[in-house]
Structure 1
Amino acid sequence: MLISTLAFACMNTTVKYLKSVPTFEIVFFRSLGSLFFTLSFLLKNKIPMIGKNNKLLILRALAGTSSMTFFFMSVKYLSIGTAVSIRYIAPIFSAIFAVFLLKEKIKPIQWSFFVISLIGVFILKGFDHHLNTTGLILVLLASVLSGLVFVIINKIGKTEHPIVIVNYFMMFGTVLGGVLSINNWVTPKGIEWLFLVFLGVFGYVGQVFMTKAFQTASTNIVAPVKYFEVIYTATFGVFLFGEVYTLYSFLGIALIIGGLILNIWYKSKMNNS
């Protein structure tokens, strides 16, 4: 999971660096790079790429691509550590979707943990004057859609191979990003080409190692480690882009992550009891 979070942090930092490249173009290259790996895996292992739950797979791909696009847009307005932190409130929206779509029940204490995380967002917005409103709206949209993705994947369950699900996502991102880039194409210059190639590599490595982590250790141990992505990304932001984090920034981020880790701890405790 530490390798996974470092890869995702590198991807986030690369997106921040590519500020002169249009967002849909970044989505295109990020998706195309990972698509190379997913297609190769499916073909090598002779796994059918069509899948069985086409409607759910397409819906997951649409929600995932939209979430990714909004997040990449938000990075152009926010410090990358803040953007990643707010995006991580996706489990709150996932829980809300699960109540209505999967008829799941959320304990009152879990809602209190979610409130702690939301207070962190309000602190970031209310006291951190570096927080751009447009960026906040974009990353919240990314978080809502990411929460929907979790529920859709849960609905799909084990009926599909994980790489088939990711492959749909990457195919959709490649097509949508490519089509929407046609009229606003900006030809990358010099080292930007290399960074665009690495977007897909970082994304794929992050996805693979995250999957391996969840396969080899219990969720309550692995899941909290995922929040190291915030630490990695914020550190890159400070040293590479000169981003500034105030005391309120750290307090807000700590509350967001703290509330979500408490929820993971409580769920694992309930599952083991």
Structure 2
Amino acid sequence: MDVRNAIKFMILSTMAFACMNVVVKYLDNVNTYQIVFFRSLGSLFFTFGYLLKNKIPLIGNKNKLLILRSVVGATSMLFFFMSVKYLSVGTAVSLRYTAPIFAAIFAVFILKEQIKTLQWLFFVVSFIGVLILKGIDNQMDTTGLLLVIIAAMLSGLVYIMINQIGQSEHPVVVVNYFMVTAMILGGVLSIGNWVTPTGNEWPLLFSLGVFGYFGQIYMTKAFQTASTNIIAPLKYVEVVFTVLLGITLFNEVYTFWSLFGMVLIISGLVLNVWYKGKLKQ
């Protein structure tokens, strides 16, 4: 177990995802469907290349589940990108990270898993953070909140599906299915809604796939290098990077209550990861 390298990989991953988030925010004039299309198309260059180079079959074993996971994941991505147009980018990312709460709830009903009382308490802490963001922070847009919560719910459902897929599929095969589906979804929805990007928007659109791919790869490497309870809390550093980039690039203003709400959301989720790690020891 190489903790130092694992931390480095996770930091690189969160930086890549934060860059992707702010590019989405910057492309405010580009249709969200196009953003999903180009985000997926850019990553497909890497996933297809990897699978072909390593002679890994493109078609998986659990095809129905892979397709369902991809449709739900692509829809989640679409709703999240839509929410960024209504919310400050740091707030949107913080709220998207409530996905583990929904995953835990789905796991109770679908996988018949049990959740400890202390875990529910940590989830309540995160939920209070959401209420503070909406109830006290007057900057919160209701449409944006609804979109990002739907995205988080769908993302939580994706976690359950990935759990069901298990080790039967190569990780890049799973990501490849996801990117193909998202590209088709974004492409079809872009018909009739196309907005021609300007000269400097084209490279930014293609950069989405690059940032997304390397964010995914470094995150995978981090989890492969060290234990989950050490690495998983570092995922939330993405929120810090995104907030800083939002302030620097877009002059976004975060009130005390919005920052306090974010801290509660992330604290509850980090405590849950820590507690789950203790239970496995």
Partner of residue 102, structure 2: 93
Partner of residue 262, structure 1: 271
Kindly indicate whether residue 93 of structure 2 is the aligned counterpart of residue 84 of structure 1.
yes
- Identical-pair percentage: 67
Displacement, 1:239? 0.9
**2: distance between equivalents of 1:265 and 1:186?**
45
**Secondary structure at the counterpart of residue 51 of structure 1:** coil
Kindly indicate whether residue 64 of structure 2 is the aligned counterpart of residue 59 of structure 1.
no
Partner of residue 138, structure 2: 129
Give the one of 182, 198, 211 matched to 1:189.
Answer: 198
How large is the RMSD of aligned CA atoms in angstroms? 0.5
Give the one of 160, 168, 182 matched to 2:169.
Answer: 160
Partner of residue 233, structure 2: 224
Runs of 4+ that moved beyond 2 A: none
**2: distance between equivalents of 1:39 and 1:89?**
31
Name structure 1 gaps, 5 residues minimum. none
Counterpart of 1:269 in structure 2: which amino acid? K
Displacement, 1:182? 1.1
Partner of residue 175, structure 1: 184
Give the one of 73, 78, 88 matched to 1:69.
Answer: 78
**Secondary structure at the counterpart of residue 191 of structure 2:** helix
Displacement, 1:263? 0.4
1:7-26 alignment, distance < 5 Å? 7-26=16-35
Q: TM-score, normalised by structure 1?
A: 0.99
Counterpart of 2:52 in structure 1: which amino acid? L
Q: TM-score, normalised by structure 2?
A: 0.96
**2: distance between equivalents of 1:35 and 1:179?**
17
Paired residue total: 272
**2: distance between equivalents of 1:251 and 1:176?**
36
**2: distance between equivalents of 1:35 and 1:100?**
34
**2: distance between equivalents of 1:67 and 1:186?**
22
Kindly indicate whether residue 156 of structure 2 is the aligned counterpart of residue 140 of structure 1.
no
**1: distance between equivalents of 2:240 and 2:246?**
10
Displacement, 1:83? 0.3
Counterpart of 1:167 in structure 2: which amino acid? N
Counterpart of 2:129 in structure 1: which amino acid? G
